[in-house]
Structure 1
Amino acid sequence: MTVETEHEYAPASEGSHASRPLEIGLALVALGFSAAYYIMARRIPLRQEAGAGQIDARFWPELLGILGIAVSLVLLVIAISREPSSRADVEPQQPGGLTRLLITCLITALFIVLWSVGSIAMFGYRIKLFPILAALFVFILMLLYGHRKPKSLIIYPLSISALIYVLFGILLRVPL
């Protein structure tokens, strides 16, 4: 019995070539996202300003933004000062990969837009949309990326959205 290291269906690939502009570009994109995140964290409304030495609602998001900026700057310095790293281990793009990426971005944008509605009134009841939208979002993404087991297509999205809703919406009282 032999152990094969490569699958028969996997194309033989030498990977992509090293690219300094790609590494610099990725570091700049990470820096841009981190800076935007930090700016948005600074704009989080507070019910009450924290006293000296206390932590308020902005603390952790601001800290994560600062850490993101620091790591992005380190990546940028490394990308500029060192030889670009080998990308021989990078797999080639799979067929349909770009289409799935674009559909994922579209579904995510739709999820965010619908989530901003918050809740709807139907049949005399106010229905929170987040748990329903989150379960549908996870379900659609699982289908899109090839998951086909019916039992887990139902259990996983429902349990994830219920966990998030109970933890953040009920216990921590974060408005979802």
Structure 2
Amino acid sequence: MTDRSKLRETSGGAQVPPDDAISDYEFAAAPSRRMEIAIGAIALALSVLAIYLSRSIDLRMGGGGIDAKWWPTVLSSSAAVLSAIILGTALFMPVAQREDLEGAQKDGWVRMLVALALSSLYVFAWWQIGFLVPTPIYLFALLWVFGNRNPIALVLYPVLTTAFIYGLFHYLLRIPL
């Protein structure tokens, strides 16, 4: 008989021995070339759109060197290169095995939709209130949704992350948030 204290609880609520947590085929994510291609293509399209949008930023002062267009262009170009690598891998390499990943479950979809709703509310709140008030609340809510119940982490992480980002942009980069 299996000792219940040695069982591991999966995200679906079932308890299984630690070695068999994901190895059971019905819980493993199936390989999918179509999904890999779709992810690569969507990421590449969004990256190219980001490059276009970053290059169309209006500069208030003379351009040249590192300006308001530089970082968005570098980041979106890097994302485009990585997306092209993902797409090329999906098209020309053997399909990646995903037996080490769990398949999608209902609670994962619910968390994703809640995170998207929170992100939409955060963008609206930032636009209306500013950066400092909604950011720690948003980070706290995301931590809670994704299962963090440690009170120290729920307080420290949002506050320290908000302070770091604010300090970086406000004092170092001199970009108002």
Deviation at 1:140, TM superposition (A): 0.9
Q: Tell whether 2:24 aligns with 1:13.
A: yes
Distance 1:131 1:61, change over 3 A: same
1:100-139 matched pairs, under 5 angstroms: 100-117=111-128, 119=129, 129-139=130-140
String of CA shifts for 1:58-105, please: whole Å, max 9, x gaps.
123212222222222232222222221111211233551111110000
Q: Tell whether 2:79 aligns with 1:68.
A: yes
Q: Which residue of 1 aligns with 2:58?
A: 45
Question: Would the aligned equivalents of 1:115 and 1:130 in 2 still touch at CA under 8 Å?
Answer: yes
Deviation at 1:24, TM superposition (A): 0.9
Structure-2 separation of matches of 1:165 and 1:76:
35
| Greater displacement, 131-140 / 84-93 | 84-93
1:19-98 matched pairs, under 5 angstroms: 19-51=32-64, 54-98=65-109
- 5+ residue gaps, structure 2: 1-6, 9-14
Deviation at 1:169, TM superposition (A): 2.2
Deviation at 1:109, TM superposition (A): 0.7
String of CA shifts for 1:34-79, please: whole Å, max 9, x gaps.
112112211222122334xx33221232122222222222322222
Q: Which structure is higher in helix share?
A: 2
Deviation at 1:170, TM superposition (A): 3.3
| Greater displacement, 34-43 / 130-139 | 34-43
Structure-1 separation of matches of 2:29 and 2:89:
19
Percentage identity across aligned positions?
Answer: 31
TM-score, normalised by the number of residues in structure 2: 0.78
TM-score, normalised by the number of residues in structure 1: 0.79
Q: Which residue of 2 aligns with 1:161?
A: 162
| Greater displacement, 137-146 / 14-23 | 14-23
Question: Would the aligned equivalents of 1:30 and 1:72 in 2 still touch at CA under 8 Å?
Answer: yes
Structure-2 separation of matches of 1:146 and 1:59:
37
> What letter matches 1:75 in structure 2?
I
RMSD over equivalenced CA pairs, Å: 2.3
Count matched residues: 160
Deviation at 1:114, TM superposition (A): 1.3
SS of alignment partner, residue 49 of structure 2: helix
Distance 1:67 1:151, change over 3 A: closer
Deviation at 1:168, TM superposition (A): 1.1
Question: Would the aligned equivalents of 1:16 and 1:88 in 2 still touch at CA under 8 Å?
Answer: yes
SS of alignment partner, residue 132 of structure 2: helix
SS of alignment partner, residue 57 of structure 1: coil
